[in-house]
Chains A and B, each alone.
Chain A
Amino acid sequence: MKIKILYIGLSIFLLSWIIPSLVQLTMDSSPRYPFTYYSSVINQFCYLDQDNDKVIGKDMSGKVYTDAEFDRVLPMFYYRQLAMENAIPDSIQGVPVDRQTIARNSFFFWYKPKDKNTPVIELYPMFESCSGKVDLENPSDMFRLKENIEFIDMATNRVDEQKSARFQQAMERAGFTFPALWVTGIPTSQKSYDEGYFALDSKGHLFHIKMTNGKPFVKDTKASNISCMLPMEIDNRSLYGFLFDTNHTLYYLSTDGYRLVKVLENVNPDKDRVSIMANMFYWTVAKISSDGEHTYALENKSMRQVDSLFRPAPESTWDKTLPYLFPFTVAFQDSTNSYIYPRISDYYFPSLLLNIILTIVTFVVYRKEKSYGKYLAGIITLFTGIAGFITVCLFAKIRK
């Protein structure tokens, strides 16, 4: 009987995973928010409203724009279209603009928790940052940085002792305390320039490490309490990347003396998604969390908040139905990290109504059973719902 109980337990566990997953597939479950961008022409948020099959450009006062008008209201976003029509304005907010200036000062940054919570193979190519050539060249070695730094030649799979020692000494001279907690960079030669890597030492200090003219360059950025960093390469080279500190604040690391500039507070890098659409006047920063989408317009130079917008998360059919159908669900993957492991949801008490009906059906199925088995089956169905009902009435009938 003990083994049977273990079988029943595993069956309920598995069915609480597969049945809700299949039901979820039949319903819409992920909220969608309209594309929103802060206009530097009319100084307010504009968005694309999905009206049946038509997508209409609107601003916050409800004014509707045609496609051509919408391009002109958001010249910082649609500048390529305007350039094709030769319609880029000479100046915006008194500042002369042209296609090159807009392109050089615009960038996009998308962050999702999976960017941080994904296992990686901790070997990285160290590019020559000052090669003097247009394209970056792939190096012949890769490095590991943990207890020490080691460069491994890819052709022979052997450690390059001399190069490793040069970097090790340079890092120790700069005050880096081994072991490194993490390393981050852009490990591809398909980028316009190289700024090497950023590594957090065992004391929590962030260091900048790169190779210039074959020599190690190591600098303490003086930034600390950093939980993760997402390096960026942008045309105007004004920043090294975005960082989250341990207090859930998002910063960017300026190339102007490694200055940390605060972008947004209360962003949980393990749960929230962030998008930044930046131009030479404003950054449109959106934080998508479980309660909805928070959008902010920040002035480019000062990062001062000039406008904000909140759209509550629409309740999907799945969200509405789930608590009435299943007392709990099991999942093995989610959108916040790449690790596979069982995740058991909270207990949904509204499902008890359906569970009571299923319990009555269970007693009908077990009506000829004289032993305590029918009571056990009833209790299992009452608390575990559909998964328990299928298990005790079909997969593993409880007999004396």
Chain B
Amino acid sequence: MNKALLFKEWIKTRWMFLLMFVVFILAMGYIALRISSAARNVGMPHLWEVFILKNVVLLDQIKVLPLLAGIIMGITQFIPEMTKKRFKLTLHLPLGENRIVCLMLSFGMVCLLLLFTVSYGGFLWGLSADFPREVVGAWFATILPQVLCGFASYLLTAWIILEPVWSQRIYNAVIGLLILSLFMVQGVPGSYIYMLPFLFGTLLLLALYPKISIRHFKEGMQ
């Protein structure tokens, strides 16, 4: 039954997932091209100076991509469930309610993890050929909150979509916006280092919140 549920999630999301993969690879390719073009035009030493002494992180230009990926993944996975109340059928499957929600959310999280690991990991691996570990570390420290923001936006989207009461959806969206803004505060590379435990804790909380919406759903609240 677990496999069947996961297969259902895959059927729903596969094309959008592949499309996001293509977009991420294109975005990374664009940043890599910009670096290589700058290296040819101004020389590698100048690029080092810009990245190290001016704290320039080119990946900042695509910092909303993980956020959008999370929202799109959530919409693709959960909007079909809420159309014509199909989610009722899902909840009637011979699996515990907690297990169903956990499997669905885990599927989305793993897809995003794969997407972010392959695209950003591949990019940073390529970067490490031309730049020292300090620069790669600073870039990683800069994109980590953005990547966590992608997971947060996914969980928030799921929470908001699964909520059957419209007014509560709006309140959840307000809280969601405040939470997302915590992941996107402008700072120098490394400034999030003490915030990371708080961000991981917030993700844990967000993984629990869809349960509130499902309770409302089961109680038939409108």
Task: Show the binding face of A for B, using Cβ within 8 Å.
Answer: 3-4, 6-7, 10-11, 14-15, 17-18, 118-123, 125, 138, 140, 142, 144, 152, 154-155, 157, 187-188, 332-333, 338-342, 394-396
Contacts and interface: CB of A to CB of B under 8 A. Distances in A.
Nearest to A394: B171
B129 A157 contact: yes
A332 B182 contact: yes
B178 interface: yes
B188 A338 contact: yes
Contacts of B123: none
Contact of B132 (A11, A17, A118, A152): A152
A3 B211 CA distance: 8
A119 B53 contact: no
Nearest to B139: A121
Interface residues of B, number: 39
Nearest to B167: A394
A154 B48 CA distance: 7
B208 A122 contact: no
A260 to B, nearest CB: 29
A339 B208 contact: no
B209 A188 contact: no
B62 interface: no
Given A10-B205, A340-B194, A157 B130 contact: yes
Interface in B183-222: 185, 187-195, 198, 202, 205, 208-209, 211-212
A140 B190 CA distance: 26
A298 B129 CA distance: 53
Which 10 A-B residue pairs are closest in the complex by CB-CB distance? A119-B190, A341-B194, A154-B45, A14-B178, A395-B171, A154-B48, A341-B195, A121-B52, A340-B195, A3-B208
Given A4-B212, A140-B45, A341-B194, A187 B53 contact: yes
25 contacts: A6-B208, A7-B212, A10-B202, A14-B175, A119-B191, A121-B53, A121-B134, A121-B135, A123-B52, A123-B132, A142-B52, A144-B134, A152-B132, A155-B43, A157-B129, A187-B53, A188-B53, A333-B185, A339-B192, A339-B193, A339-B194, A340-B187, A340-B191, A340-B194, A340-B195
A218 B126 CA distance: 37
B44 interface: yes
Main secondary structure of the interface of B (DSSP, over half): helix
A121 B202 contact: no
A198 B55 CA distance: 22
B189 A121 contact: yes
Contact of A123 (B130, B134, B202, B209): B134
Given A121-B51, A142-B52, 19 more contacts: A3-B212, A6-B205, A10-B202, A11-B175, A15-B178, A119-B191, A121-B53, A121-B55, A125-B49, A144-B134, A154-B48, A155-B45, A157-B131, A187-B53, A333-B187, A339-B193, A339-B195, A340-B185, A395-B171
A395 B168 CA distance: 7
Contacts of B195: 332, 339-342
A6 B208 CA distance: 9
B6 interface: no
B178 A17 contact: yes
Residue of B48, B49, B171, B190 with most partner-chain A CB within 10 A = B48
Interface in B56-90: none
Contacts of B130: 157
B31 interface: no
Given A119-B190, A142-B48, A3 B209 contact: yes
Contacts of B208: 3, 6
A265 to B, nearest CB: 30
Interface in B136-193: 138, 171, 174-175, 178-179, 182, 185, 187-193
Residue of A18, A138, A339, A340 with most partner-chain B CB within 10 A = A340
